[in-house]
Structure 1
C-alpha cells in the first residue's frame, strides 16, 4: 500500500466520522477501565477473587452471544446495531454513579451492570470489525485498522491519567459519567454516516447452520486457525493480569489512583507508537517478519511487570516498561492480524468470522480473569503475575511455529483459498 492509499483514506469522509466517534468512546472506555475496578476495590472493598469474577463478567457474553450476533450482523445492516449498542452502554455506565449517589451500589448490582455492558460490547465489536470493510476498500484496510488501533493506544495513554485525576477529584463511581457521554458522541458520529450496506438476508437458513459455517471457515482457514489459538492464549494471560494488577498496585505496591493512571498512561505510549508505525512497517518489510517480531516483543514484555517490588518509583518503572513493550508489540500484531483476517474472509462471512474469533479469543480469555483471581488469592498477587508472564511466552508459540512468519506480504482472498 503506497502513499496514495493513505491519502485516499484521509479523504474518506464516512471512515473519518466512524473514526472520530470511535476515538471519543475509546477515551471514555479507558476512564471506565480504571474507575470501575477502583470503585470495586475502594468503595465495595472486594477480594481478589471477587475482582477477578467481576472482570470476567465484562467478557463472559463473548462466550455465549458472539456467534448468534455474528449471524445477525451478516443478515442485517450494521450501523443501526452499533447505534443501539452504544445508546444502551451510555445508559448502563451512567447507572453506576446514580446508584452510588443513592448509596445503593452493591457488588451484585455492579456485576449485573458489567454483564449487560458486556452484552452491548459484544454486539458493537462484532459490528465494527465487519463494518470497516464496508466503508474502506481492501487496499486501505491496514491503514484504517492502524488508525483505529492508534486511537485505542492514544486513549490508553491519556485516558487513565485523566481517569486517575477524575477519581481523585470526583471519586471512582462519578468518574464514569465521562464514558457515558463519550458513547453518546459515538452515536452522533455513526448517525451521520451514509454508506449503503449490501445485505443478503437468509431467513430460511437455520441459525445453527450459519454459525457452524462461520466456525468451520475459521477451523479450515490456516491463518485464522492459528490466530484464534494464539489470540485465545494471549487474552487468557491478559485477563489474568488485568484481574490482579489494580489490586496488586493498591495493596502491595501502595500506588494511589493518580500513580496507577500515570503508569498505565505512560505504558500506553508503546501502543501509540506501535499503531502509528504498523502500516509503515508492513509496507517496508516482510509481513510475516513484522508480525513475528511484534509477537516476540509483546508477549515477553509482561515479564517485567512483577520484577520490581521495592520503592514505588522503581516498581513503577518496571511495571511501566512491561506494559510498554506488551502494548507496542500488541498494537502492531493487532493491526496486522486484524487486516489479515479481513483480507482472507469473504464479505458474506465477515460477521460470523469476526464473531467466531471473538468467541474463541475472548470467551477463553474470560476464564483468565477467574483464574487470575483464584491464583492471586492462593499464591499471592505478585506470584500470580509471574505465572501470567510465563503463560504469555507459551502463548506466542502457535504464531512463531506457524507459516505466518514466512509470509512475504498480506495475502489476498483468492490466494488464501485452500
Structure 2
C-alpha cells in the first residue's frame, strides 16, 4: 500500500483514523500490564522461590529467547496472515499463559521450571504481536505519518514503564507478586478485545504475496536488512544498545533485593525513572530530528549521554541511589530517541511486501541481543559478581553510537520513503 505524503501541518490537523486509535488504546493497556508483569516475575522468583542470580539471568533470557528461535520465520508468516488476527490471537494466548502462574502459586505447585516455560511461551506470543504491530502501522496511518505515530506509541510505552513498573512495585509490595501477575493477564484480555474491533476503518488492501518458497522469502527479508546501507548500521547499533542495557537491567532485582536490602517498591520506582527518560526521549525525538537531521539524532545522543551510564554502577543506598537513577534516566532518554527515529527509518525504507520480514529480522537481532545480555549478566553475576555485570554494561554501552557514526546514516537529513 502506498499513501500520498501530506505536509507537516496537515499531519497535525488531521485526526488519527479510528483504526489507529484502537491500536493505540490496546498498546496503552497492554503496555501497563506488560511492565507490571516484567517486574513481578523476577521479584516472585527471587523473593518467593529463592532464585539464584544465574536463575534470574536464565529467566530473563528465556523471556526473549523466542525471538532467536522463531523470530525470522515469524516475519514470513506475518507477511502471509491478516495482521489484526495475529495481534488478537497473540494477546489471548499470552493471557492464558500468564494466568497459569498465580493459579499454580495458589495451588502450591509453582516452581522455577514452570516460570521458565511460561516466559518462553509468552515470548513466542510477543514475537508475533510485536512484528505484526510494527508491520500493521504503515497500513493504518500511511508512511507520511510514521514518525508522529511512532513518537506517540513510544511515548505511551515510556509512560507505561513509569506507571506500570511503579504500580507493579507497589502491588507486589502490598498484595504479593502473584496478584500483580493477575493484573498482567487481565490487560492482555482487554487488549485483545479492543484489537478485535479494528474493522471498518482499517484499509482493506494488502501487500502482494511474495514470490518463491518459504526459505526464499525468509532470505529476502534478511538480505534486505543486511545489504541496505542504512538498515545494516542501524541494526548493529540498536542490537548493541539492547545487549548492554540488559546487562544492567537483569541484575537490578538482585542488587535491590539482596545487596541493598531494598524492597520491590524501590526497585519499581528506580525502573520508573528509566520510563521517565524513555518518555522524554520519545517526546523530543521528532523535534530533535527536525533540527539536526534524522541521522545525527541517532548518534549524537549516544556520544553525549551514554557515558553517563557509568553512574548506574555506583548505585547504593542514600544519595548514591539518586545519582544512579539520574544515570539510568539519561540512558533511557537516549534509548527513547533511538527507538522513535530508528523504527520510523526502517519502516520508511522498506516496501510493504517486506515489512513483516524486515521487522522480524530486526526483532530477531534486537531481542536476541536481550537474550544474550541476560545470559551474560547471569554468568557474570553467578561466577564473578553482580557489580561486574553493571560495569560491563556501562562501558560497552558508551560505544554503541559508533556503527551509526561510521555509516551513511551520520549525515542523513530525512528517512527515505519506499514505494
TM-score w.r.t. the length of structure 1 is 0.94
Answer whether contact 2:307 2:398 (CA < 8 A) is retained. yes
The offset of 1:339, in angstroms, is 0.3
Unaligned 5+ residue runs, structure 1? none
For residue 413 of structure 1, give the secondary structure of its aligned residue in structure 2: coil
Q: Matches of 1:254 and 1:33 in 2, distance apart?
A: 20
For structure 2, list consecutive stretches of 5 or more residues without a partner in the other structure.
Answer: 1-6
User: Cα gap change, 1:325/1:176 in structure 2, threshold over 3 Å: closer, same or farther?
Assistant: same
The partner residue of 2:235 within 215, 222, 228 is 228
Indicate the SS of the match to 2:108. coil
SS state at 1:409 partner: coil
Query: Cα–Cα, structure 1 residues 379 and 84, in superposed 2: closer, same or farther, change >3 Å?
Result: same
Matches within 5 A, 1:160-309: 160-194=165-199, 195-199=202-206, 202=209, 205-297=212-304, 299-309=306-316
**TM value normalised by structure 2:** 0.94
The within-5 A match list for 1:137-148 is 137-148=142-153
CA distance in 2, matches of 1:285, 1:231: 20
1:75/1:199 contact within 8 Å kept: no
Alpha-carbon contact 2:281-2:337 (below 8 Å) kept: yes
- 1:317 is matched with 322
Indicate conservation of the 8 Å contact 1:59/1:362, yes or no.
Answer: yes
Look up the match of 1:6.
12
Partner of 2:4: none
Which residue number corresponds to residue 327 of structure 1? 332
**In structure 2, do the counterparts of structure 1 residues 149 and 204 end up closer, same or farther at CA, with 3 Å as the change threshold?**
closer
- C-alpha deviation, 1:201, in angstroms: 6.7
Size of the alignment, in residue pairs? 411
Q: CA deviation at 1:278?
A: 1.7
Question: Which residue of structure 1 lines up, in the alignment, with residue 159 of structure 2?
Answer: 154
- Cα deviations by residue, 1:88-134 (Å, 9 ceiling, x for unpaired): 11111111111111111100011000101000000101100101001
Q: Deviations over 1:186-241 (max 9, x none)?
A: 11221111214433575973211110010011111111111111122222112222
1:83 aligned to 82, 85, 88, which one? Answer: 88
Say which is worse superposed, 42-51 or 267-276, in terms of deviation. 267-276
Determine if contact 2:26/2:194 at 8 Å carries over to the other structure: yes
| Compared CA separation, residues 322 and 362, structure 1 to 2 (3 A) | same
CA deviation after TM superposition for structure 1 residue 297, in Å: 4.7
Q: Which runs of 4+ in 1 moved over 4 A?
A: 200-204
CA deviation digits over 1:370-400, x for unaligned, max 9?
Answer: 1111011222111220011111123222122
Q: 2:260 and 2:72 mapped to 1: Cα distance?
A: 40
Partner SS state of residue 167, structure 1: helix
Deviations 1:320-347 (A, max 9, x none): 1122011111111110000000000010
CA contact (8 A) 1:6 1:140 kept: no
- Following the alignment from structure 1 to structure 2, what is the Cα–Cα distance between the partners of residues 110 and 60? 14
Specify the SS of the correspondent of 1:222: coil
Alpha carbons of structure 1 residues 73 and 279: separation in structure 2 relative to 1, 3 Å? same
CA distance in 2, matches of 1:73, 1:166: 36
1:249–1:260 contact (8 Å) kept in structure 2: yes
Choose from 24, 30, 33 the match for 2:29: 24
Corresponding residue of 2:39:
34
Question: Is 162-171 or 375-384 further displaced after alignment?
Answer: 375-384
Quick one: distance in 2 between partners of 1:231 and 1:180? 30
Cα displacement (A) at 1:281: 2.3
CA distance in 2, matches of 1:335, 1:147: 9
Q: C-alpha distance in 2, partners of 1:104/1:162?
A: 27
- 1:391 matched to 2:396: yes
Counterparts of 2:318 and 2:10 in 1: how far apart (Å)? 46
The whole-number CA distance in structure 2 between the counterparts of 1:126 and 1:89 is 15
Q: CA deviation at 1:274?
A: 1.4
